[in-house]
Amino acid sequence: MVPLRQLHKCRRNAAASAAFLLTLLSVAVARDHHPGVGRTSEAELRAPAPAPAQAGRSCEAQLRALPDHAARCRYLSWASHPACAPRGYVHYLRLFYCAFGGAPWLGAAALALWLLLLFYLLGDTASQYFCAALQGLSAALRLPPAIAGVTLLSLGNGAPDVLSSVVAFAAADADAGDVGLSSVLGGALFVSTVVAGVVAIVASSSGTRGGPVEIERAGFVRDVCFLLVALCYLLAVLLTGSVTVWAAASFLSLYAAYVLLVWTSHCCAEDGTTKPAVDDVAAAGPDPDLAAPLLAEDPDEPPALPISSKHAEAAAPPRRGRSSLARRALHALQWPLYLPRRLTIPDIAAHRWSKRYAVASALLAPLLLAAISSPSSPAAALSGAVAGTVLAAAAARGTSSSSPPAGRCRRLPWLAGGFLMSVLWSYMLARELVALLVSIGLIAGVRASVLGATVLAWGNSLGDLVADVAMAMHGGRGGAQTAVSGCYAGPAFNTVVGLGLSLTLAAGARFPRPYAIPADASAYQAAGFLAAGLVWAIVVLPARGMRLDKVLGVGLLLIYLGFLGVRLGSLSLGAANGS
């Protein structure tokens, strides 16, 4: 019988490959079957561009003043317009209005599919490479498990959210900043209400061993109270409307206090009895489908879309000699998504070790780093080529074909390189994801902050939903404890470190002037409902003996439905006022 996770894996591979294929087909169909789509004539481009915009008007206002797609295409192609300049590597507005001007529905489908692919790539990069490098660094640096869990491993789990926030605040326009703020708050709200609520309902009805599942009180109260304190601090910052670099740094330093608190709790727990959650996990025994990261994997096989960045992919994929024609086709479609990262991110995971890829990544990683950091500098490209050649020669001489480097000193450079390059890839993908969301908002006439609080938050958090529910269903008491802890510790990290680092960098770039925070109603609404969810959890769970049940879960789900209702009402009211 095929394991459940392997079935999920096949479906995820098929979904990612199908999205990639449909994106290509959308472009091909648009160019071949719609006259004028993607074929803006030279005469049209040379025609005088309309001048509807005045200086200082937003890009949306400029585009809305134009009569049709053709006029908007000419306007975007005629000259540089700072308000409508691309935020990423692709000019999505020009692509939509020029390449899909005759078939806007096809353009919307292509952008939606590309959005799904970016979510896939961002989550897969964090799981397969970023988390692996962080776990290796944690072991090489010999960090205590409690400290590693709230530092390096929390960074691995929250990498998509944190980097999306940093990229958004690094942009020069307010729309992208709205996306960063709303996505972090929206993601924290989604995880602490929807994910925690579903986990509570599943744990109460799954018939776990020994009756109702009880959660450790001390750790739960600590995590929820810390998140509440951080949220109050953030609200105070938002209400002032601006933040200095010192205030942002003090907000970021809250996480250092949290790490110290966790370390103190860990030391006290070691002096006393062993924590029940650990005993429960050991007693229940890991489910085979959840304990798969130790299994071998073909190093040449493209990885599957991860359930969550917390869990490496489990089952070993079937050998290609025994795979069906359809599976071969899916693998062929996955290669364009897989190969560029495999060739540029050093990876010494034992189940994926390949000397060929190791040498290739040593050669190409410096070149990619130079191309991204200084794209127009020949000196940077030459330096990257020289450094890559030297590193590739050293990798070819110093590594074995049969096993990855052994020993702490030999592994550290590879782990550091894998960490650096996975951060670079995650940064590029997050930058493109934010740019795409801002462009979709301009095309659809929806505020970017709304998309950040919903679409971006959902995309970054759906993996947590699937993984945490699976742990609650199959992991026994320890799995439920871990799932609930992740529902509050993860949002705490993303809120304090993600927003704290973003605000610190943005305020530091404007020092000594304060940084004006681009917050609108959606950010305050997300923060308010997040506070309501935290208060509900910290009141209801202790009152019911720390037992997970449907009262807790249904209440949390209703809070999130209330948030969606308020957002939809705000959008309807805004549309009515605009008309």
- Rounded to 5 degrees, what angle do the CA atoms 118, 121, 123 make? 105
Rounded to a whole number, what is the distance in angstroms from the first to the last CA of the chain?
58
pLDDT at 452 over 80: no
pLDDT at 15 over 70: no
- Rounded CA-CA distance 444/107 in Å is 12
Higher local confidence (pLDDT), 303 or 251: 251
| Domain layout of the chain by residue ranges | 61-77+85-268+429-570
- In 3D space, the residue among 462, 437, 380, 355 whose CA is nearest the CA of residue 8 turns out to be 462
Q: What is the DSSP string of 438-454?
A: HHHHHHHT--HHHHIII
Is residue 163 within 8 Å of 426, Cβ to Cβ? yes
State mean pLDDT over 408-423.
Answer: 87
Alpha carbon 166 to chain centroid, angstroms: 12
CATH node for 61-77+85-268+429-570: 1.20.1420.30
- Rounded CA-CA distance 190/464 in Å is 10
- Rounded CA-CA distance 207/476 in Å is 9
Structure tokens at 531: 């506070």
**Confidence tier at 366 by pLDDT (50, 70, 90):** very high
Predicted confidence at residue 270, as pLDDT, reads: 61
**Confidence tier at 356 by pLDDT (50, 70, 90):** very high
Residue 411, exposed/middle/buried by CB under 10 A (0-12, 13-18, 19+)?
Answer: middle
Predicted confidence at residue 229, as pLDDT, reads: 92
Backbone φ, ψ for residue 308 (5° rounding): -160, 160
pTM as predicted: 0.66
State mean pLDDT over 381-394.
Answer: 92
State mean pLDDT over 439-445.
Answer: 82
Q: Which of 117-121, 542-546, 566-570 has the lowest mean pLDDT?
A: 566-570
- In 3D space, the residue among 265, 259, 190 whose CA is nearest the CA of residue 487 turns out to be 190
H-helix or E-strand spanning residue 181: helix 174-190
- Rounded CA-CA distance 94/329 in Å is 32
- In 3D space, the residue among 577, 524, 176, 129 whose CA is nearest the CA of residue 345 turns out to be 129
Is residue 109 within 8 Å of 130, Cβ to Cβ? no
pLDDT at 272 over 60: no
**Confidence tier at 455 by pLDDT (50, 70, 90):** confident
Structure tokens at 326: 């359809």
- Rounded CA-CA distance 215/542 in Å is 9
H-helix or E-strand spanning residue 19: helix 4-33
Alpha carbon 135 to chain centroid, angstroms: 18
What residues contact 249, with CB distance under 8 A and at least 6 apart?
Answer: 500, 504
H-helix or E-strand spanning residue 516: strand 515-516
pLDDT at 116 over 90: no
pLDDT at 288 over 80: no
